[in-house]
Structure 1
Amino acid sequence: MLNDQALEMIKPPFVKKQPRTLEHHGHQRIDDYYWLRDDSREDPEILSWLKAENDYTDAVMAPYAPLRESLYQELIGRIKKDDSTVPVLDNGYWYYTRYSGDDEYPVHARKAETLDNPEEVLLDGNKLAEGHEFFSIGNMDVSLNNQLLAWSEDTVGRRIYTVYFKNLLTGELLTDRLEQTTGDVVWAADNRTVFYIRQDPQTLLGYQVFRHTLGTEQKEDVLVYEEQDKSFYTGIDRTRDDSTLLINHDSTTQCAVSLLDATTPEGNFTAFLPREANHEYDIAKLDDWYYIRTNWQATNFRLMKVKKAQSADKSAWQEVIPHRDNVYLEDYLLFKDALVLNEKENGIPRIRVIQLSTGKEHQLSFDDPVFVAHFSANPSVDAPRVRIWYSSMTTPDTIYEYDLFTGEREQLKQKEVPGGFTPSNYASERLFVTATDGTEIPVSLVWRTDRFSKDGTNPLYQYGYGAYGYTIEPYFSANRLSLLDRGFVYAIAHIRGGQILGRPWYEAGRQQQKRNSFTDFIDVTRALAAEGYADKNKVFASGGSAGGLLMGAVVNMAPELYLGINADVPFVDVVTTMLDESLPLTTNEYDEWGNPNNKTDYDYMLSYSPYDNVQRQDYPNMLVTTGLHDSQVQYFEPAKWVAKLREYKTDDNKLLFYTNMEAGHGGASGRYQQQKELALEYAFFLSLLDQLQ
Structure 2
Amino acid sequence: MTNAPIAARRTHIRTHHADTFNDPYEWLREKESPEVIAHLEAENAHTDDQSAHLENLRETLFEEIKGRVQETDLSVPTRRGDWWYYGRTEEGSQYGIQCRAAAVSGDWTPPVLEPGVPVPGEEILLDSNVEAAGHEFFSLGSFDISDDATKLLWAPDLEGDELYTIRVRDLVTGETLPDEIPKTGGGFLTPDGTGIIYTTRDEAWRPDTLWLHRLGTPVQDDVTLFHEPDERFWLGAGLTRSRRFLVIGVGSSVTGEEYLVDLEGDITAEPRLVWPRTEGVEYSLEHAIVDGEDRLYIMHNQDALDFELVSVAASDPQGERHVVIAHESGRRLLGMDAFRDFATVEYRRDGLEQVGLLDYATDAVDELSFDEPLYSAGVGGNPEWHSPFLRLGYTSFVTPGTVYDLDLATRELVLRKQQPVLGGYDSADYAQARAWANASDGTQVPISMVWKRSFGEPGADVRPVHLYGYGSYEHSIDPGFSVARLSELDRGVIFAVAHVRGGGEMGRKWYEDGKMLNKRNTFTDFVACAEHLISTGVTSPEQMVAEGGSAGGLLMGAVANLAPSRFAGILASVPFVDPLTSILDPSLPLTVIEWDEWGDPLHNADVYEYMKSYAPYENVQDGVAYPRILAMTSLNDTRVLYVEPAKWVARLREAGASDVLLKCEMAAGHGGVSGRYNSWKERAFELAWMFDTLGLA
**TM-score of the superposed pair, with normalisation by structure 1:** 0.95
Paired with 2:283 and 2:120, the residues of 1 have a C-alpha distance of: 42
Paired with 1:655 and 1:577, the residues of 2 have a C-alpha distance of: 23
Paired with 1:444 and 1:298, the residues of 2 have a C-alpha distance of: 28
Q: Could you say if the C-alpha distance between residues 402 and 133 of structure 1 is closer, same or farther in structure 2, counting changes exceeding 3 Å?
A: same
Matched AA of 1:20: H
Aligned to 1:284: 286
Which of 37, 45, 65 is residue 35 of structure 2 equivalent to? 45
1:585, CA displacement in angstroms? 1.1
1:335, CA displacement in angstroms? 2.5
Aligned to 1:4: none
1:514-565 Cα deviation digits (max 9, x unpaired): 1100000000000011112213321100000000000000000100000011
Deviates more, 1:215-224 or 1:106-115: 106-115
1:620-670 Cα deviation digits (max 9, x unpaired): 000001000001000111101111111013x53x11110001101001110
Instruction: Report the number of matched residues.
Output: 676
Which of 33, 58, 63 is residue 25 of structure 2 equivalent to? 33
Aligned to 2:667: 662
Query: Does residue 488 of structure 2 align to residue 486 of structure 1?
Result: no
Query: Any stretches of 5+ residues in structure 1 without a counterpart?
Result: 1-8
1:471-501 Cα deviation digits (max 9, x unpaired): 0111111111111111101001110011111
1:133-181 Cα deviation digits (max 9, x unpaired): 0001101121222111111110000001110010010110001111111
Aligned to 1:180: 183
Paired with 2:120 and 2:327, the residues of 1 have a C-alpha distance of: 47
Paired with 1:459 and 1:383, the residues of 2 have a C-alpha distance of: 48
Query: Does residue 229 of structure 2 align to residue 217 of structure 1?
Result: no
Which of 410, 415, 439 is residue 406 of structure 1 equivalent to? 410
Which of 155, 167, 170 is residue 158 of structure 2 equivalent to? 155
Matched AA of 2:19: H
Q: What is the correspondence of 1:93-108 to structure 2 with a 5 Å cutoff?
A: 93-108=83-98
1:274, CA displacement in angstroms? 1.2
Which of 635, 644, 653 is residue 637 of structure 1 equivalent to? 644
C-alpha RMSD of the superposition: 1.5
1:361, CA displacement in angstroms? 4.9
Aligned to 1:3: none
Paired with 1:471 and 1:189, the residues of 2 have a C-alpha distance of: 34
Paired with 1:179 and 1:297, the residues of 2 have a C-alpha distance of: 42
Query: Does residue 232 of structure 2 align to residue 231 of structure 1?
Result: yes
Contact 2:544-2:694 within 8 A present in 1 as well: no
1:618, CA displacement in angstroms? 1.4
SS for the counterpart of 2:286 is: strand
Matched AA of 1:618: A
Amino-acid identity (%)? 39
Query: Does residue 442 of structure 2 align to residue 438 of structure 1?
Result: yes
Aligned to 2:610: 604
Query: Does residue 257 of structure 2 align to residue 256 of structure 1?
Result: yes
1:430, CA displacement in angstroms? 1.2
Aligned to 2:506: 501
1:360, CA displacement in angstroms? 5.7
SS for the counterpart of 1:672 is: helix
Contact 2:542-2:694 within 8 A present in 1 as well: no
Deviates more, 1:185-194 or 1:299-308: 185-194
Paired with 1:223 and 1:360, the residues of 2 have a C-alpha distance of: 41
SS for the counterpart of 1:567 is: strand
Query: Any stretches of 5+ residues in structure 2 without a counterpart?
Result: 105-110, 112-118
Contact 1:444-1:493 within 8 A present in 2 as well: yes
Matched AA of 1:89: R
Which of 334, 356, 359 is residue 330 of structure 1 equivalent to? 334
Paired with 1:358 and 1:14, the residues of 2 have a C-alpha distance of: 68
Paired with 1:539 and 1:599, the residues of 2 have a C-alpha distance of: 37
Q: What is the correspondence of 1:330-369 to structure 2 with a 5 Å cutoff?
A: 330-357=334-361, 361-369=365-373
Paired with 2:312 and 2:359, the residues of 1 have a C-alpha distance of: 18
Query: Does residue 634 of structure 2 align to residue 627 of structure 1?
Result: yes
Which of 300, 309, 329 is residue 306 of structure 2 equivalent to? 300
Aligned to 1:580: 585
Q: Could you say if the C-alpha distance between residues 354 and 627 of structure 1 is closer, same or farther in structure 2, counting changes exceeding 3 Å?
A: same
1:376, CA displacement in angstroms? 1.7
Query: Does residue 597 of structure 2 align to residue 592 of structure 1?
Result: yes
1:42-77 Cα deviation digits (max 9, x unpaired): 321111111111111111111121111111111222
1:268, CA displacement in angstroms? 2.0
1:387, CA displacement in angstroms? 1.5
Matched AA of 2:250: H
Paired with 1:523 and 1:406, the residues of 2 have a C-alpha distance of: 46
Aligned to 1:194: 196
1:354, CA displacement in angstroms? 3.3
Contact 1:54-1:657 within 8 A present in 2 as well: yes
SS for the counterpart of 1:71 is: helix
Q: Could you say if the C-alpha distance between residues 81 and 308 of structure 1 is closer, same or farther in structure 2, counting changes exceeding 3 Å?
A: same
Paired with 2:256 and 2:363, the residues of 1 have a C-alpha distance of: 30
Query: Does residue 625 of structure 2 align to residue 618 of structure 1?
Result: yes
Matched AA of 2:456: F
Paired with 1:689 and 1:612, the residues of 2 have a C-alpha distance of: 28
